Structure 1
Amino acid sequence: MTFGELGKYLEKLEGVSSRLEMTRMLAKLFSEVSPNEGRLVAYLVQGRLGPAYANPNFGVADKMMVRALGEGAGELFRKLGDLGLAAEKLSGEASAARANHKLNSNVQIQNVYLKLTEIAREGGEGSQGKKQELIGDLLQQMDPVSAKYAVKIILGKLRVGFSDMTVLDSLSWMVAGDKSLRPTVEAIYNVRADLGEVVELIKKHKTGPEIKKLQVTPRTGTPVLMARAERATAAGEIWKRNKSCAVEYKLDGIRIQAHCVKGKVVLFSRGLENVTEMYPDVVKGLTKQIRKECIIEGEMIAEDGEGNFLPFQQTAQRKRKYRVEEMSKKIPLVFYLFDVLAVEGKDVMREGNEKRRVILEGLVKTGGGRQTVRLIWRKTAKSAEEIDKYFEEAIARGTEGIVAKKLDGIYQAGSRDFNWIKYKKSYDASTLADTTDVLVMGYDSGQGKRAGFGMGAFLGGVYDKKTGKYYTVGKIGSGPSDEEWESLEKDLRKYIVDRKPEEYSVKKQAECDYWVRPKFVVEVKADELSASTAMHSSGFGFRFPRFVKLRDKQPEDVTSLSEIERLYKMQKRK
């Protein structure tokens, strides 16, 4: 496929508001490319050169692009407000001025991808001039539409408006003509969270029966989507579901998946970001204490000198790209391990939880001074009374509560099920028993004091996997400090879109001044849930919601609509 043909698809996709129409269009696009091209297209249609955890930054700002585009670009940019459109117009003018020189719409996708990669990798002294030169050379080979989208990709401003989940739907449509293969395709993605690789695999195997036979296993270096826990409000509820279970502390820290191989460690966040460089102390601890190649999971948390867990706010100070070494000494972390997914290339996710714990214990070296890497506290419960006892011990230890794990439960990548059940303390009987995670769908302009921050409140939504849509549960305007509020608005501003995304279900009464594409997940605490069919598309609304913190999660990992329904029923039983 040529980049010109891809550009035409991108132009059509930008004008589509229906998610179903977008899915079918993507299915047609992927049907027309080879397996290798499919990998590259999967990245390029989302404005990337690789999966989210290995996506190089182009390091090209608007000013540099204006210089690369040449004479007249600055004036056009001021007039149009979009450098992609400016590039398209300049390219068209160049074609008209040179009647005997037709601009090329036949540049192959692979060639454009290689040139874009070269631009991104250029660094060091004199790199700005070299980047400008490379951009100029690339655009001279392109037709106007291709030039527009190449510039948008380089600037990180391609806004086609669909998620990885839409691409997975499109692969099912491509093969089966409907969504029937979506669970199979998603199961592959959950274990290998690289959309390009998934597209390539599906293209190579072609038919539904072949795809269903695919055996994809964890691979060091490629993150696995993390398993999630269901929730309970009483020990009896846990015991009713899991008659024999292990109980572990639920820590309020930072969940991490560590990939260890040949003395090298890579750390992935729940949001699939490579965060290795943020935590040198944890990397050092893993290098010293882990015996074999493996993929392991746990929670990082800060402790004081006496081994007491510190509040999340202090642990969160370690999530930074600057002053990393200084902060690692000031706030050292402990990495508490609770699961293992693979050992020396062997998939152990299908083993029961009890067996995985034994394997995990055999991986960690202990003894000899302060241990950065430790095993999470764990007890086996034989009754609801024992679960309650361990819960009280956990609360006394300063944790959030417990996670009860089914002894023969497998590790269900990317899924929320009752193999794991979290049970947290309700600090106030008048409030909901647990916090919720919501997607920031959009926000309203600020008034009064908030006018200076540009945001008065943001609209939160929960996810329904059955429909692939987000449903509103409330507008949140309190909780964060002024600094947090200002920082959040600054981040949201970068992801504003011209129209409400198709996957957002919003009633007129809840609409916002600005819509934001799916990106930011926020933890919210509310006094209660009330029935709110008139105001909110979920049918429920928060009373007195407060912002707690930003969450490092994928948009699809927010609290589900079915969970909200369950929380409402739990609240009624109080």
Structure 2
Amino acid sequence: MRFLDLAATSAAVAATSGRRAKVELLAEALRRLDPVEIAAGAGWLAGELRQRQTGVGWAGLRDLPPPAAEPTLTVGAVDAAIDAIAAVHGSGSQARRRALVHSLYAAATADEQRLLTGLFLGELRHGAQAGLLADAIARAAGVPVAAVRRALLLAGDLREVAVAALAGGAAALAGFGLRVGRPLAPMLAQSASSVDEALAATGTPAVVDVKLDGIRIQVHRSGSDIAVFTRSLDDITARVPEVVAAVRALPARELVLDGEAIGLDETGRPLPFQQTSSAAARRGGSAGARSTGGPTAAAPVAPAVRAAAASTGTTVLTPYFFDLLHLDGTDLIDAPGRERWAVLRGTVDAGLLVGRMEVDEPQRAGEAFAAALDAGQEGVVVKAPDAPYEAGRRGAAWIKVKPRHTLDLVVLAVEWGSGRRTGWLSNLHLGARDPRTGEFVMLGKTFKGLTDDLLRWQTERFLGLAVERGDWVVRVRPEQVVEIAFDGVQTSSRYPGGVALRFARVVRYREDKSAAEADTIDTVRAIHAGRPPAAPSP
């Protein structure tokens, strides 16, 4: 299949508003792929590269060659070229990778270059979400969509499911099951602004789990083989020996556990998320081994975890589990939560279980929420005890409740959008006011929370405030205030203030506030330190 045809499909999907029409466009493209092209092509239609890491970012896509006049690339040729780019490493890799990227772009037409850029940067937003791709795969293969969705949940890989459906039909899809050692997409939680709202969705009685500020882990054990996967299904087994040790000490022969791994300080309170994340990314750091009690129970850290801590001499990530998906040959994902959790309690030491409370009215749920926050955790997850484990779904059976931070910040610059946002100013550079200098300190960027109406409005607004118009970034006078919601503040060496917002998203523009009334960098640092912000002077 010509790569140009896939680029044309992407553009057509972006320009189409109807779900049925999008599905048909995607299905037609899937039908046209050769068998050896399905894995790559299906992933590209979902905005994902088959190669998870390529080493290509914004810097590697500067000063690209002009587009080719005529299309010559095929899906297979582009996939092979990206394979070659991803394989580059070692001395001189930057220059070699750049040469390969330029060679690929020189052979690509303008439309093909746009698709390549969206894929390399992970910013292909043409409206083909996973749900649409599941429908399209079913349509293209002539199989029930329920069969495709079930396979997706268990396989956790759209490309693998697309290959099976298009090559083997319903019979091949039926072969997907929970396989110990192969991660599956985790069940996710919707959000609510209060425990009352969460209970209205789940009903009562419900259980309230402490929401730890750690990293999601899924642990598979088959005999002596243990593997630990992240929420994105990356294998981090070698980086978390304490998690492996804790699971190895359990009596089960074969199991699949769902939980969180979290770093604790000497008092048993959670370390900042950034430290937990860094510990999972690399074994190192200056913190000594921890042997404190868990964040949700008085029980000490399991002996196996403590032993692993002593052997590494680094920040320990203690696992806490909240679900059990498989035990000794029996799949549990279709069982009600209360049954899975009962088996979990009989399988895992109490000191390695997430704090959980059964509630039948909002007051007790509120007490659990307050206790979780007092312990330094993110909040709670309210769960319906009769619901099965809906792998890969963000349904109404699990509802997370977290305190919501908002700040009024100033827009310092805006980046031109790509994909369906081409032609609009999209990604906002956000700054807090420095009361000592009157200048603004950048805290990060966001394009989240922007509707098409807001994109149109802000494009006109910021072009009117522009002081420097680049091909990618438009710098503006620091006058426009925007209300930003975020989940926390983390240490950052990337920005001059030393801190950055986590998961920032636009709430609304504040026409009623001037830049002089924006929140200060002192307020941001107070949130980062866990202190209440100082009251503004009258």
- Which range, TM-score by smaller chain? 0.5 to 0.7
Task: Find the aligned partners of 2:510 and 2:372 in 1 and give their Cα distance.
Answer: 41
Distance 1:290 1:155, change over 3 A: farther
SS at match of 1:412: coil
Distance 1:11 1:298, change over 3 A: same
What is the aligned counterpart of 1:217 among 177, 191, 204? 177
Match status 1:380 vs 2:358: yes
Task: Find the aligned partners of 2:201 and 2:110 in 1 and give their Cα distance.
Answer: 61
**1:142-197: CA deviation from partner (whole Å, max 9, x where unpaired):** 994489969985996478833684464255356549xx977764554344331211
Match status 1:82 vs 2:64: yes
SS at match of 2:398: strand
Task: Find the aligned partners of 2:274 and 2:46 in 1 and give their Cα distance.
Answer: 33
- The aligned residue for residue 162 of structure 1 is 125
Give the counterpart letter for 1:194 in structure 2. Answer: D
Match status 1:28 vs 2:6: no
SS at match of 1:419: strand
**1:245-302: CA deviation from partner (whole Å, max 9, x where unpaired):** 3333232333333344454544444455555565454344444557444332222222
- The aligned residue for residue 121 of structure 1 is 87
What is the aligned counterpart of 1:488 among 439, 444, 458? 444
How high is the sequence identity, in percent, across the aligned residues? 20
Give the unaligned 5+ runs of structure 1: 66-76, 93-103, 425-433, 447-453, 460-473, 536-542, 549-574
Distance 1:256 1:161, change over 3 A: same
1:418-567 alignment runs, 5 A limit? 418-422=396-400, 434-435=403-404, 446=412, 477=430, 488-489=444-445, 504=452, 506=454, 508-511=456-459, 523=487
* Shift, 1:31, TM fit: 1.3
Give the counterpart letter for 2:194 in structure 1. Answer: T
Give the unaligned 5+ runs of structure 2: 290-312, 418-426, 463-471, 475-484, 490-500, 512-517, 526-538
Match status 1:356 vs 2:340: yes
Q: Is the contact made by 1:227 and 1:411 (CA closer than 8 Å) also made in structure 2? A: no
SS at match of 1:82: coil
- The aligned residue for residue 100 of structure 1 is none
- The aligned residue for residue 391 of structure 2 is 413
Task: Find the aligned partners of 1:259 and 1:251 in 2 and give their Cα distance.
Answer: 21
SS at match of 2:268: coil
What is the aligned counterpart of 2:6 among 1, 6, 9? 9
Q: Is the contact made by 2:243 and 2:317 (CA closer than 8 Å) also made in structure 1? A: yes
SS at match of 1:298: strand
SS at match of 2:321: strand
Q: Is the contact made by 1:340 and 1:359 (CA closer than 8 Å) also made in structure 2? A: yes
- The aligned residue for residue 15 of structure 2 is 18
- The aligned residue for residue 321 of structure 2 is 337
Q: Is the contact made by 2:22 and 2:128 (CA closer than 8 Å) also made in structure 1? A: no
Deviates more, 1:144-153 or 1:248-257: 144-153
When normalised by structure 1's length, the TM-score is 0.57
* Shift, 1:354, TM fit: 1.8
Give the counterpart letter for 2:165 in structure 1. Answer: I
Q: Is the contact made by 1:249 and 1:401 (CA closer than 8 Å) also made in structure 2? A: yes
Task: Find the aligned partners of 1:365 and 1:176 in 2 and give their Cα distance.
Answer: 46
Distance 1:19 1:413, change over 3 A: farther
Give the counterpart letter for 2:404 in structure 1. Answer: T
* Shift, 1:105, TM fit: 5.0
Distance 1:403 1:273, change over 3 A: same
* Shift, 1:337, TM fit: 0.7
Q: Is the contact made by 2:26 and 2:45 (CA closer than 8 Å) also made in structure 1? A: no
Task: Find the aligned partners of 1:270 and 1:326 in 2 and give their Cα distance.
Answer: 25
Q: Is the contact made by 2:201 and 2:397 (CA closer than 8 Å) also made in structure 1? A: no
Q: Is the contact made by 1:234 and 1:423 (CA closer than 8 Å) also made in structure 2? A: yes
Give the counterpart letter for 1:337 in structure 2. Answer: F
Q: Is the contact made by 2:3 and 2:74 (CA closer than 8 Å) also made in structure 1? A: no
* Shift, 1:319, TM fit: 5.7
Q: Is the contact made by 1:282 and 1:333 (CA closer than 8 Å) also made in structure 2? A: yes
Distance 1:112 1:239, change over 3 A: closer
Distance 1:223 1:154, change over 3 A: farther
When normalised by structure 2's length, the TM-score is 0.60
* Shift, 1:313, TM fit: 5.5
- The aligned residue for residue 303 of structure 2 is none
Q: Is the contact made by 1:193 and 1:222 (CA closer than 8 Å) also made in structure 2? A: yes
Q: Is the contact made by 1:480 and 1:547 (CA closer than 8 Å) also made in structure 2? A: no
Give the counterpart letter for 1:228 in structure 2. Answer: A
Q: Is the contact made by 2:216 and 2:261 (CA closer than 8 Å) also made in structure 1? A: yes
Distance 1:352 1:475, change over 3 A: same
CA RMSD of aligned residues (A): 5.8
